[in-house]
A and B are shown apart, each in its own frame.
Chain A
């Protein structure tokens, strides 16, 4: 943790999620989730596709409200905040969206500069320096004049990453930061997330299904399946766990406690209606 003495006065837990349930219409997605993130840590939320990871990030960011339970960020109850207070809190958060969500009418440079222009009165030269620095960190300084439509999927993701960290937020939420990256970018981006976190004293939450990469850089892991936390612990504990679910997920096997298929009826009876009659 940072040597800054003021740090010790702040609550140690930056994100606290207490028995949260959430459903879209009548489809219950999260069931009674408990999850905490300590200040200064990098925490991974791992889980199969569709288990509610993005939903969880949206609850932390206050875009969705839980049907039950508490979501606290920096000591504030997020669902109860009014719009102004929520926006005040969000100024200290950065979010990388799963599909980038770059502003398609702005160049790469302007995308990264967006929050600086909206929220600060920095002089133009300083904005230029900062933006190029952020783009350099993701290896795309040379692409600053391109429009988002001219980027490849992986490049767009890295620009989105540069934009998420533009204002050096206190909490960064990464939704699938590793998806669609080539091995070199993957290495650079994963190290970047770790370095940023340690250098700036931020806290990071990474949502991903890339187990191998995330286990290399994070401090703490939550494994989620079917809307529940099925295991959590420090990286060594997770690696050493004998829980069959954890083993299946880490090794990537199709058979095990996690079903690969979205719940449905019997395969044979769907293909051959009347088969069982």
Chain B
């Protein structure tokens, strides 16, 4: 009786660990079969269009609004201490270090990751994956790796675009709306944002998030149950797992990068 809930937790944990193991093996296989992407870069470019270019709109719009809100909130607080002009620095640091990589990754998972999962899952449900195997073509090489690498390449670029539009949004609000001096806005930012510590660390974060989100998307799609319901579950899982993974990884990465634990 007492053992039953324990066994339940054990079973769940066991399932979780075996899934993590499977995903790890899948990542190795994906890397192992990546030769085709090098030989035929066109396959990757096509997918970059689907996951990257088509995500531009949501990234630009979200970046702009996040930057504008940051500008408003930060100015409000900073002004109380009479230092409203450092708002440029605060907006840039928040975006480059944290909000840019994290929000871009979560937006990317919902916009592109879910689409990749649904596409691969439907390919399995309609036997396209089996058909490929019967044609002696390794589906991981032909279907999974181009989408994986397209995600890994696209997300860091999207993150940079998110940061830039965010800073522009902050500028619009601070300078045009609240009357901060434009020169001060930029010079404070230049003085305090460190290339290696802030920009590169933020970029490294976005690369790690890109690998995580892309892996989750292709893994969930490839292992989706071959039914409509299975595909819809897999798509939901991609978004949920990606978001949790990104937030969890972000904590760990931040601890290492900025606190030097």
A→B interface (CB under 8 Å): 61, 63, 87-88, 90-91, 93, 95, 97, 99, 101-105, 114-115, 118-119
Mark B residues whose CB is within 8 Å of A: 119, 122-123, 126-128, 130-131, 133-138, 142
A63 near B142: Cβ-Cβ < 8 Å: no
Cross-chain contact B127 with A99 (CB below 8 angstroms): yes
Pick the residue among A87, A88, A97 that contacts B130 (CB under 8 A).
A97
Choice from B122, B123, B130, B135 contacting A115 with Cβ under 8 Å:
B135
The answer for the CA separation of A31 and B177 in the assembled complex, in Å, is 79
Bound complex: CA of A102 vs CA of B135, how far in Å? 12
Task: Tell me the complex Cα distance, A103–B134, Å.
Answer: 13
- Contact A114 B127, beta carbon cutoff 8 Å: no
**Please, how many angstroms separate the alpha-carbon atoms of A243 and B128 in the complex?**
40
Q: List chain A residues, Cβ under 8 A from B130.
A: 63, 97, 101
B134 touches A90 (CB 8 A): yes
Q: Chain A nearest CB: distance from B40 CB in Å?
A: 9
Distance (whole angstroms) from the CB of A38 to the closest CB of chain B: 22
Closest residue to B134 on the A side, CB-wise?
Answer: A95
Of the A-B pairs whose beta carbons lie under 8 Å apart in the complex, a sample of 5, sorted by A's number, is A87-B136, A95-B131, A97-B127, A99-B127, A103-B123
Tell me which residues across on chain A come within 8 A of B128, comparing CB atoms.
101-104
Which residues in A have their C-beta under 8 angstroms from that of B138?
87
Residues of A within 8 A of B136 (CB): 87-88, 90-91, 119
Establish whether residues B126 and A118, one from each chain, have CB atoms under 8 Å apart when the complex forms. no
- How far is B233's CA from A172's CA once the two chains are assembled, in angstroms? 36
CB contacts (< 8 Å) of B127 on chain A: these are 97, 99, 101
Are A118 and B119 CB-contacts (below 8 A) given A97-B127, A99-B126, A101-B128?
no
Contact partner of A104 (CB less than 8 A), chosen from B122, B134, B135, B137, is B122
How far is it, in angstroms, between the C-alpha of A97 and the C-alpha of B134 when the chains are bound?
10
Q: Can you list the 6 inter-chain pairs with the closest CB atoms, starting with the nearest?
A: A87-B136, A101-B127, A101-B131, A90-B136, A91-B136, A95-B134
The minimal Cβ–Cβ distance linking B42 to chain A, given in whole angstroms, is 11
> Contact at A104–B126, with CB atoms within 8 Å?
yes
Q: Report B-chain residues with C-beta under 8 Å of the C-beta of A97.
A: 127, 130-131
What is the bound-complex CA distance between A97 and B126, given in angstroms?
10
Q: Give the nearest-CB partner of A106 in chain B.
A: B128
